[in-house]
Amino acid sequence: MNCGVKNAYGNNLLFAGFNQDQECLACATSDGFRIFSCEPLKEKGKQIFDSGGLGHVEMLFRSNYLALVGGGERPLYPLNRVMMWDDVQKKISMTLDFKYPVLGVRLRRDRIVVIMEKLIKVYTFTLKPELVSVFETMKNPLGLCLLCPNSDNALLAFPWIKTGHVQLVDLGRKDNHFIDIAAHESTITCMAFNLQGTRLATSSAKGTLIRVFDTKSGQMLAELRRGVNQATIYCINFNHASSYLCVSSDHGTIHIFALNDQKLNRQSTLANTGFLPSYFSSSWSFCKFTVPNGPKCICAFGMKDDCVLVFCADGWYYKFSYNMKGECTTEQSAQFLELPEEDI
């Protein structure tokens, strides 16, 4: 979740993102970074820098390594540089420099992926990183790119040079075997892998549909409708079993979809009327939460599938619980940016 050079809510949060298994949240701020455990909600660590801020921070699971990129009104580092931070030694362990501003970084134990507006570079995760692959993309100002964290599946996904298409590349093969998925007619704006890298979920600038694909065949497995009106989708995440999907958007809502048993999802009562528009036969979410004041937010499933955790740009955290009837309640809310370290 990119909060912009200056957060509109008056706090110092510039970026927030989950780690690979959504158990931690990494926050880039105008004076450093903060790391939170998602459930239970606790601040696990932070680093304050006097000389500037960060626009992106990427964790490697729960390890001591983080990728840092400068940002904000007073960037700590040049925007075209990636700094690998060792949080045990509290120092930079390696540096990567580029010709263009860095929009994002993805990590796994054997690879560092650096995203620029029209270019993606893949390096070995070693003391002296070696460049192993370079991919051209369409203009990608959001820095969209996915790297499967599973050690048995080295998939990389990014928007291809053709609008609405996603390129899937197997980094584990010397020939970088790829699959081209024609996901949408308009520009891709949000994507997510499940933990195993066997499923890919996508949405476009229109923001009405989320499509789920099998990553081996490229076949579409589900088409899910968030709504009828255009929206900006901020976040998509699978639960650990890949049986549910949560989605957040600028309409101030979190939608929950069933993937295995899609009969749980709602359908219009006019679904079987052949002469009506296709959205009447769409699969709609079976549960929906409303986030107070509708800020930009990201979401993920908690330790149990019956709860969803939401982190917002205004500094609020929410834990929602739900059942298969679509009934939901707010279990917890807190200003997570105001939590002292290790406090609940």
What average pLDDT does range 166-175 have in this prediction?
88
pLDDT digits (tens, 9 = 90+) for 283-297: 899 999 999 999 999
The model's pLDDT over 81-119, given as tens digits with 9 standing for 90+, comes to: 999 999 999 999 999 999 999 999 999 999 999 999 999
Q: Using the predicted structure, report yes or no on whether residue 272 has a pLDDT greater than 70.
A: no
Count the helix, strand and coil residues of the chain and give each as a percent rounded to the nearest 5. 5, 50, 50
pLDDT over 50 (residue 276): no
Q: Is residue 321 part of a domain?
A: yes
pTM of the model: 0.92
3-state SS, residue 336: helix
- Assess if residue 113 is contained within a domain: no
Residue 12 · residue 30 · CB < 8 Å: yes
Return the HEC string of 227-252: CCCCCCEEEEEECCCCCEEEEEECCC
* pLDDT surpasses 90 at 333: yes
User: Does the structure show a pLDDT above 50 at 275?
Assistant: no
Q: Does the pLDDT at position 344 exceed 80?
A: no
Burial of 76 (0-12, 13-18, 19+ CB in 10 A): buried
Distance CA 317, CA 330 (A): 11
The answer to whether residue 297 is domain-embedded is yes
User: CB atoms < 10 A from the CB of 264, how many?
Assistant: 18
DSSP 135-168: EE-S--TT---EE---TT--EEEEE-SSTTEEEE
278-312 residues labelled b (16+ CB within 10 A) or e (exposed): eebbbbbbbbbbebeeebbbbbbbbeeebbbbbbb
Please tell me which residue, 271 or 247, carries the higher pLDDT value: 247
pLDDT attached to residue 267? 82
Token duo for residue 211: 């499509």
Relative to beta strand 233-238, strand 155-159 is unpaired
Q: 24 and 320 in contact (C-beta within 8 Å)?
A: no
Last residue of a domain, one of 97, 112, 132: 97
User: Does the structure show a pLDDT above 70 at 16?
Assistant: yes
Residue 5 belongs to a domain: yes
Q: Which range (152-156, 174-178, 179-183, 235-239) has the least confidence?
A: 174-178
CA angle at residue 162 from 156 to 167, to 5 degrees?
15
283-284 and 220-225 beta bridge pairing:
parallel
Q: For residue 271, what pLDDT is reported?
A: 44
Strands 253-258 and 283-284, sheet pairing? unpaired
Query: Region 267-279: what's the mean pLDDT?
Result: 50
Q: What's the domain range around 28?
A: 1-97
Whether residue 111 is contained in a domain is answered as no
Whether 260 is covered by a domain: the verdict is yes
Domain boundary among 66, 97, 128: 97
Return mean pLDDT, the chain.
91
| 71 lies in some domain | yes
pLDDT digits (tens, 9 = 90+) for 230-258: 999 999 999 999 999 999 999 999 999 99
In a domain? residue 52? yes
Which of 50, 80, 97 corresponds to the end of one domain? 97
Count of domains forming the chain: 2
